[in-house]
Amino acid sequence: MGSAIDIPEVRKGASKVRVLVVDDEEFLRSIVRERLEIAGYIVEEASNGKEALAMASNGRGPYDVLLTDIRMPVMDGITLLSEVAKSCPGTAGIVMSANAELDTAVQALKMGACDYITKPFNFDVLLITIENALRKKDLERQVEDYRTNLEKKVGEQAEIINFRFIDAMIQALEERDSFHSGHSKRVTRYSLAIAEELGVTGQEHEDLRRAAVFHDLGKIGVRDAVLNKPGKLTDEEYGEIALHPEKAVRILELIPPFIPLLPAILHHHERFDGRGYPERLSGDKIPFASRIMAIADTFDAMTSTRAYRKALPDSDAIVEIRRCSGTQFDPSIVPAFLACQSKISMLGDVSLPEGFEEQPPHRLLIV
């Protein structure tokens, strides 16, 4: 071993560092352990790579430092380093090698070892090598944390930009005419009030909020002449409007964070009795969020002035929601809608354009 005879001083922070010494020579292990413990490290021993690997994976590990010989029976040091790098990537590996094994030591560095030290070694050099290896691992962790946090922040910023872009599209849609102004915000408010009455919280609540905001995005692809037609729609015109959930999905599916919202948006015009669109789903085959939004969307459509009719009083709209419970709407959700009426702050309706003539409510539930 080395010629150092001075007792090494206790190293700062060593008492929190766990070292596993792996060598088939018991005397070498014991002397290295003794010197490292004097320096303040927590040290354990293993006689070969297989034993060391078991110790690292049976609850005693992971270790901060793995100090291993190269040539050992059962499992050599190179194989051990390779396995530990997979299971305990935060462990700093240091190879103890003879001068004749330098090529193998370099191979160990390529496999992830932090450093190597040649036998016989000076214990002061060993302590410095351990400290350098720990600093290297700490730096690697800092770099990885920075990279992870940076990716997270970039992802968050991208999501905010995407959300604002889509929100701008919705505002542009609602500003095309005064009849739809504020519709998405009101539907969102009503949907969340219903959901909260039903006890919806967490991510499900947040996904509903976003889906409700975006639910009519596809109407940006519907012609103004159809969207604001004061008279009865032709079958072709109705078909154009009925495509708006699918158009919304085609826009949003290009943005990964919005993909979980797509089923709720796609199916918010399904009916509980299976006579809705686009897929004629029925009952609980319709996404839960869609069943909530269907009530909120219809209620706002009835209580807002549209090109084809004046707004209905809230009381009339509530009667209509009750009447359609079990056919258009989920009968288990309608009571929650009725229960939260006092929580819904109604917004003022837009005024009628000059010369407006009221039309028959033949499109009452087409929203």
**Does the pLDDT of residue 160 top 80, yes or no?**
no
Per-residue pLDDT band for 354 (boundaries 50, 70, 90) equals very low
> What is the pLDDT of the chain when averaged over all its residues?
82
* pLDDT tens-digit series, residues 121-135: 788 888 998 988 888
Query: Looking at the annotation, which residues are catalytic?
Result: 219
pLDDT of res. 142: 87
Q: Rg for the chain (alpha carbons), in Å? A: 35
Q: What is the 3-state secondary structure (H, E, C) of the chain?
A: CCCCCCCCCCCCCHHHCEEEEECCCHHHHHHHHHHHHHCCCEEEEECCHHHHHHHHHCCCCCCCEEEEECCCCCCCHHHHHHHHHHHCCCCEEEEEECHHHHHHHHHHHHCCCCEEEECCCCHHHHHHHHHHHHHHHHHHHHHHHHHHHHHHHHHHHHHHHHHHHHHHHHHHHHCCCHHHCCHHHHHHHHHHHHHHHCCCCHHHHHHHHHHHHHCCHHHHHCCHHHHCCCCCCCHHHHHHHHCHHHHHHHHHCCCHHHHHHHHHHHCCCCCCCCCCCCCCCCHHHCCHHHHHHHHHHHHHHHCCCECCECCCCHHHHHHHHHHCECCCECCCCHHHHHHCHHHCCCCCCCCCCCCCCCCCCCCCCCC
**Does the pLDDT of residue 80 top 80, yes or no?**
yes
pTM score of the predicted model: 0.55
Tell me what percent of the residues of the chain surpass a pLDDT of 90: 35
pLDDT of res. 289: 97
* pLDDT tens-digit series, residues 245-266: 999 999 889 888 889 999 999 9
pLDDT of res. 13: 62
Per-residue pLDDT band for 203 (boundaries 50, 70, 90) equals very high
**Does the pLDDT of residue 208 top 80, yes or no?**
yes
Per-residue pLDDT band for 179 (boundaries 50, 70, 90) equals low
